[in-house]
Amino acid sequence: MGETRQSPNWVLSSLMLAATAAWLTLDAVSVAPNRIVPGTPYAALEVVGGWPALLMAVPMLAVVVLAWRPNRKGLTLSLGVVMALLALLPLWLAAATAVLVTPDMPQARVGIGSALWLLLFLLLLVLIELRTRLGMSRALGWLLLVPMLLGWWLALSLWLEPLALLREYHARSDQFASAVQQHLALVGAAVGASLVVASLLVLAMRRHTGVRRVGFGVLNFLQTIPSLALFGLLLAPLAWLGARVDWLAALGVSGIGWAPAFLALLGYSLLPMVRNIFVALEEVDPAVIESARGMGMARRQVFLQVRLPLALPVVLEGVRITTVQAIGLTAVAALIGAGGLGTFIFQGLGQAAMDMVLLGALPIIGLALVADALIGALSERLRPGGAA
Amino acid sequence: MSSAASSTTHGSAVQRWLAPIVWLSLLLLLTLGMGHLEWLFRLLEPDLRQVIYRRADFLTLLGQHVLVVGIASLLAVALGVSAAVAVTRKFGRDFLPLVSQLASIGQTFPPVAVLALAVPALGFGTLPIIVALLLYGLLPIVRNTLAGIDSIDPQVHEAARAMGMTPWQVLRQVELPLAAPFILAGIRTSVTINIATAALGTTVGASNLGDPIISGIVNGNTAYIVQGAVLIGLLALAVDSLFERLQRRG
């Protein structure tokens, strides 16, 4: 898509108009004197006389104008504007906080309103659109987020102490750290174990067609069972085992806790993993294997030096799918006492404490996106003829 | 079901529909007759006074579960297919790259997190679940519909136009039928995820088959947990086998 498009880019203009409208009309922040009282909402125009909000609306409209004749220069300029806006957003929030929270409100909690969330979401969509139109690579796309992340980091560490989300975090930062650890440990253990078990299964499947049929059948069946139900169904037999077998009880196996979570995660991880490993090994071009044999390589050598390196990117693709899936499922496992970030979600829902829900949900989404990007990039690099 | 009539032509209509029929009858039997299995659950929890979940009857819970998933899925199919069709027409083509990227990035979001985020935005109750299920359920449907339309040979498209078909006719009689297997696979993924996510509805203030499980976890009653888990599992299997059957036909 190298040609300069002369027809207007309706995507950019409609997204930006929607963003401007949301920004100028909806509630941007809310301030509550403490955790119990509901907050008073403020629109962006009601804060600091409204001129900073209007000032931010100007570049947004400029992008709408630039989208009318979307040539490369205009698009690059728009990209700069959007990145600047994304970085300015946390600073605006910091300024609003400084003005709205007076010293006589030491327990004040600032909530982020729908205008800010929507603006953030729409600006990120615009960023994706611009990245695509400018033909940037995925890795470069991630770099575009750096100014925004710097802005948030700066604002959060210096000025945003009254932010409800941050207060919620400070109130339980130890708990948060151990929740992240538990979450990652469960995901890592499940994905690692499924990689080993799936490899063994695939080796057996390649030998015997019977194993292949039954194996895929069972794994498909498992994948269909909803997570909450599978956790529940594992609970009864594991509680029984934990109560009767001493050495299992000593390991901490019981109906509640890591054991049912780990087993269920392993079960769910096996299907994507087995499928990808199987396809990866199966799809290596027979001519390549033939020529490796012809060069006098032994079976073992062919497997280790030819089949495996060629299969690796596809296997990693399986690891990616499995990891992202496991990060989400581990959140559900909090319900059966497995810990992790889901604890905050369900505790927060139980207490109707929405900031606590966010404290659980946002990091989970973050983890999933990062895992997806990192493993995706790795498998891209390892692909023959890839970026390596 | 006119299985008797069709069995003369197809031989084994019952056999082909066996899996959905078995799962569905098991689901209904257990939903209606759970009370008769009290002796069985007694074995599981001998010390508890009550071993059958009675806060609501299972049929109501099943109905609510199916209703929420059904509404969300129907809306997701209508919106998802129309969105995918719109961005593959001339007037909407500008939106195609963004929509297809959004559909794939969105699937990275864990469904639980989407459900959790719906509550601060919409409050407690059935509405946030339907919205969360709808939003999440859209992604596989949009993605698969796009893949389905993309897989059609441009020559087929041209031939249809050359025969004098209007764009609307091409869509109705050529594109959608050819993309149907893809769309159906997308709906299947979407519904499977939705049945599982809806079960978490109890935590956001809606009642369905997830209730006995959560209640059992809270009260330490394994019998409740098993009752809820078995019914949800059977529901998922029944619906999935139904889709499997439909896909084989298509």
* Structural domains of chain B in order of their starting residue, each with its CATH number: 55-249 (1.10.3720.10)
Share of chain A above pLDDT 90, in %: 13
Q: What is the tally of helices (H) and strands (E) in chain A?
A: 17, 3
A241 in contact with B, Cβ within 8 Å: no
Measured in angstroms, the CA of B8 and the nearest CA of chain A are apart by: 30
Is residue A340 within 8 A of residue A182, CB to CB? The reply is yes
A320-324: list long-range contacts, CB under 8 Å, 24+ apart.
A320/A371, A320/A372, A320/A375, A320/A376, A320/A379, A321/A272, A321/A276, A322/A190, A322/A191, A322/A194, A322/A269, A322/A272, A322/A273, A323/A187, A323/A191, A323/A371, A323/A372, A323/A375, A324/A368, A324/A371, A324/A372, A324/B108, A324/B110
Q: What are phi and psi of A279, to 5 degrees?
A: -60, -40
Number of Cβ within a 10 Å radius of residue A287: 8
Which pLDDT score, from 0 to 100, does residue A364 have?
Answer: 94
Measured in angstroms, the CA of B49 and the nearest CA of chain A are apart by: 18
Find chain A residues with C-beta within 8 A of B119's C-beta: 349, 354, 357
pLDDT band at A303 (very low <50, low <70, confident <90, very high): confident
A301 burial via Cβ count (<10 Å: 0-12, 13-18, 19+): middle
Measured in angstroms, the CA of B217 and the nearest CA of chain A are apart by: 7
Picking from B108, B197, B202 by the largest number of A CB atoms within 10 A of its own CB, the best residue to mutate is: B108
Residue with tokens 């009858």: B25
Which pLDDT score, from 0 to 100, does residue A384 have?
Answer: 66
Which of residues 168 through 227 in chain A touch B, CB cutoff 8 A?
221, 224-227
Give the nearest partner residue to B112 out of A128, A225, A345, using CB atoms: A345
What is the spatial distance between Cα B115 and Cα B197, in angstroms, rounded to a whole number?
8
Give the nearest partner residue to B199 out of A229, A235, A364, using CB atoms: A229
Strands (E) across B5-162 are located at none
Chain B residue with minimum CA distance to A361: B113
Which pLDDT score, from 0 to 100, does residue B119 have?
Answer: 85
Find chain A residues with C-beta within 8 A of B124's C-beta: 352
Number of Cβ within a 10 Å radius of residue B150: 13
Mind listing the pLDDT tens digit for each residue in A199-242? 999 988 888 888 888 888 888 888 888 888 888 888 878 877 77
Judged against a pLDDT cut of 60, whether residue A387 lies above it is answered with no
What is the spatial distance between Cα A56 and Cα A35, in angstroms, rounded to a whole number?
31
Judged against a pLDDT cut of 60, whether residue A65 lies above it is answered with yes
Which of residues 291 through 330 in chain A touch B, CB cutoff 8 A?
324, 327-329
What is the spatial distance between Cα A183 and Cα B110, in angstroms, rounded to a whole number?
14
Residue with tokens 């929270």: A101
3-state SS assignment for residue B191: helix
Lowest mean pLDDT among A97-101, A182-186, B129-133, B234-238: A97-101
> Inter-chain contact A114–B121, Cβ cutoff 8 Å?
yes
Instruction: Give the pairing type, strands A27-32 and A109-112.
Output: antiparallel
A377 in contact with B, Cβ within 8 Å: no
**What's the complex ipTM?**
0.82
Mean pLDDT rounded to a whole number for chain B = 85
Is residue B195 within 8 A of residue A226, CB to CB? The reply is yes
> Inter-chain contact B124–A352, Cβ cutoff 8 Å?
yes
Judged against a pLDDT cut of 60, whether residue A142 lies above it is answered with yes
What is the spatial distance between Cα B189 and Cα B210, in angstroms, rounded to a whole number?
20
Which pLDDT score, from 0 to 100, does residue A255 have?
Answer: 67
Picking from B91, B93, B102, B112 by the largest number of A CB atoms within 10 A of its own CB, the best residue to mutate is: B112
Question: Under 8 Å CB-to-CB from B67, ≥6 apart: which residues?
Answer: none
Average pLDDT of the residues in B53-82: 90
pLDDT band at B9 (very low <50, low <70, confident <90, very high): very low
Mind listing the pLDDT tens digit for each residue in B64-76? 999 999 999 999 9
Which pLDDT score, from 0 to 100, does residue A320 have?
Answer: 92
Which pLDDT score, from 0 to 100, does residue B250 have?
Answer: 53
> Inter-chain contact A10–B222, Cβ cutoff 8 Å?
no
Is residue A264 within 8 A of residue A333, CB to CB? The reply is yes
Chain A residue with minimum CA distance to B41: A236
Chain B residue with minimum CA distance to A355: B120
Full set of structural domains in chain A with CATH: 10-167 (no CATH), 173-382 (1.10.3720.10)
What is the spatial distance between Cα A134 and Cα A83, in angstroms, rounded to a whole number?
15
Number of Cβ within a 10 Å radius of residue A187: 25
Is residue A227 within 8 A of residue B196, CB to CB? The reply is yes
What is the spatial distance between Cα B2 and Cα B9, in angstroms, rounded to a whole number?
12
